[in-house]
Chain A
């Protein structure tokens, strides 16, 4: 990993620092919606997951889904945040075809979760990013403009799905920090089981606030908000473009207008959506259909007890207990399934070898086949056996790679593969000595050359022995015996 260089935008003699804040919309992992019992499955037929409440029929009333509240509190605890024992659901009023109520139920002045923080692992150390708040709100439906040439169609399946809006402080300074922030946030929520973090399915998207200021300036510049960006790559591209756009304006003596912008992924540019003057007046007011949400200490305490070990603690434990480097620990804890796999493997096998095999061969395999670790063709048990076979000298590291490949295709345990294919390491010194003798006998010229000082030829002899044993000879023994015989 390269050293985290300061991300600055240069224009002539000026240098600009980029200030970024994120509003992440994370879909709450829940079987039913925030205020109704409709299911939340992704990819269902349009308008099949819609109740009378979601479609805002006359006289229909929202009822809070307690599970979603638990999920929000859990996430808050995972973000080291203050849980507000009293929070209020407000109505955010605006008209749109895919907003059946004519308002979105959200939390405005009194969110369920207050200030917290997230730790980022930068190459040169940790950085704390502040969380401003987390609040719960309903998702809207979806307007579809490209099916019917005359009409816009509306799919209300998403209408009323619970979202957590997680607002960061303007603490991020580069596209790379945004990358790490999103990944860390996603990791924490996946550990907690409160959001699946699936960006392709829209479970995680963000509004990105970007401003710039000359290095050394204390005052924040005017920010622009880039709406609804749904991948880390696009967020980074949008920030890059936006920071440069703002720098160009300032450099020409202009000023930044506070506005909402959209990122065009095809043209790789942001463009104005609406200015501050055109901003909606959402007429927020407390939703009279819902009483203020009051949480008891018991309720919060019970959730606290359910919080699993989170990535930061786990990383610390891996470093302290397993003597991993912080870098290794980071890789292994970033995904909860990976960390579980790792801990399963090392229950019965060498930690160092396990770390190398998982972060090396296994990750390469998964990456190659585009698989999650939970879908790994090699179970943690089988990888553990493989490592033990290396450790006890049954097979060499090189043979292990062959066995690993077979395991990847056949999902068998390594022992039976070794037996079946006769891959067991030859560790009988007498047998090896015999082969070494044969090799020396067959290559008198090279022996002479070696003895006259051509040390490099040692490798040639090793290779010849390995060739005769199909690579199964114990490399250490081969070395030792060869040395003895040749000198």
Chain B
């Protein structure tokens, strides 16, 4: 059984296709491990009984040509799942059962995958440590009382703890890459418009993008093959020719030009991050890539611009949670007091903070100074990347300015929490694809990640570069299973 959970997604699929393992054996193995891993608090909702039933059905008459034949998967609780509670980590949706399926999860099931359950996340994906969830903190398997990052913290923790062979998250400002970096896993944020946003609880519509979180780069390619599809139900979905990412993986990156942006060398960045980055550069050189120093001059404005644009969109996106139609309602004497009670009780502090910021920056008299200016900065940041991509194929940066921290360390200081996203948000503001791969460890043995940023719609290039690096890095988490009961 322990063999099963140690297999990568692609290895599992091979064994299912060879009939070495049945879907039921695999599903049972992951469920058994999840039952013993409750202390990590990764799941908000489990659907184990149905999963076993579906696995049984798959073993009886499943289609082995599927890309994910009979593979059990848990997903972030931001994806709406038909008939299964979908909370977005919030009290206000704590009783919400969708009658529909998100496009991205539907693609998983259409390729034979089986839903294990819904994974914890920061409330409405607002957070960098999974500490804002109504359903409590998630612990990282990399260390006791250590945060898994956020907002896809439950996904990262479950993946690293081997409670699911792969998973999907969403990334608005780093919510896939930062937790991947904190947990020693691979996280890919595809180009904006690659994966449909239909049926994903919206945080900031112009930034949100779903993507795979996996044990290695091959698995990420495989998952991307399944979830990256044009969808007419999402007006921002882009109809471009998608690659055959898994099959086209190549570790030959000779002659690739990799940019190193000087603006990512921020004040107070720990030595270990600096040397991790340096080692990455050295490795790329060894692999035959050409290293080119570049400048992304508007980088320093990315974080403030992000913390205007994202809350602005969120303040409007979250207006629908008003107690009228679905979700949590707290009665009041009249409509206004019902709204006030429902939203005061239904939303947590971080969500309220962002709704207030968002409402403020869109207010008449402040719109030009904040929202409009942030949009202009966004354009400048995008231009920086466009300029850089005239001379490079991809950009290498650290994924985060620090390694994972302890639960509670930053909860009283939102700004220091927001600083976690400093390397990841420029990517969302520009709509570009980026991947975080595990590349080393800090002094506490906590994982550290490197981020590769690519050109729009050139995920294959990004996957190939990280694939070749991964082979050389041979990163191992070596977790001690301390949380198992």
Contact = CB atoms under 8 A, between A and B. Distances in A.
Q: Do A and B bind each other?
A: yes
Interface of A: 52, 55-64, 91, 93, 95-97, 100-103, 152, 154, 281, 283-285, 288-291
B146 to A, nearest CB: 31
Contact of B324 (A57, A60, A64, A97): A97
Q: With a 10 A CB-CB cut-off, give which of A59, A97, A152 has the most chain B CB atoms.
A: A59
A289 B235 CA distance: 7
Interface string B316-330: 101110101110000
B313 interface: yes
B233 A63 contact: yes
Given A52-B99, A97-B335, A103-B319, 11 more contacts: A56-B325, A57-B326, A58-B202, A59-B198, A59-B202, A60-B198, A61-B235, A64-B235, A102-B318, A281-B364, A284-B362
Contacts, number: 94
A288 B200 contact: no
Contacts of A284: 362
B320 A59 contact: no
Nearest to B334: A152
A352 B206 CA distance: 64
Contacts of B322: 95, 97, 102
A61 B234 contact: yes
A152 B202 contact: no
Contact of A283 (B197, B233, B362): B362
Contacts of B315: 93, 283
Nearest to B323: A97
Interface string B216-243: 0000000000000000111110000000
Q: With a 10 A CB-CB cut-off, give which of A60, A290, A291 has the most chain B CB atoms.
A: A60
Interface residues of B, number: 42
Interface string B74-112: 000000100000101000010010111010000000000
Contacts of A283: 315-316, 359, 362-364, 367
B463 interface: no
B371 interface: yes
A63 B322 CA distance: 23
By secondary structure, the B interface counts as loop
B100 A57 contact: yes
13 contacts: A58-B88, A58-B202, A58-B320, A59-B200, A61-B197, A61-B235, A95-B322, A95-B339, A97-B324, A152-B335, A285-B316, A288-B236, A288-B313
A285 B312 contact: yes
B71 to A, nearest CB: 24
Contacts of A102: 316, 318-320, 322
A281 B198 CA distance: 29
Contacts of B318: 102
A289 B205 CA distance: 6
Nearest to B320: A56
The 10 closest A-B pairs by CB, nearest first: A102-B319, A288-B205, A288-B206, A283-B362, A59-B199, A56-B320, A58-B201, A281-B364, A59-B80, A102-B320
Contacts of A103: 316, 319
B233 A100 contact: no
A153 to B, nearest CB: 11
A55 B99 CA distance: 13
A226 to B, nearest CB: 23
Contact of A93 (B233, B236, B319, B371): B319
B235 to A, nearest CB: 5
Contacts of A285: 312, 316, 362, 367, 371
B122 to A, nearest CB: 16
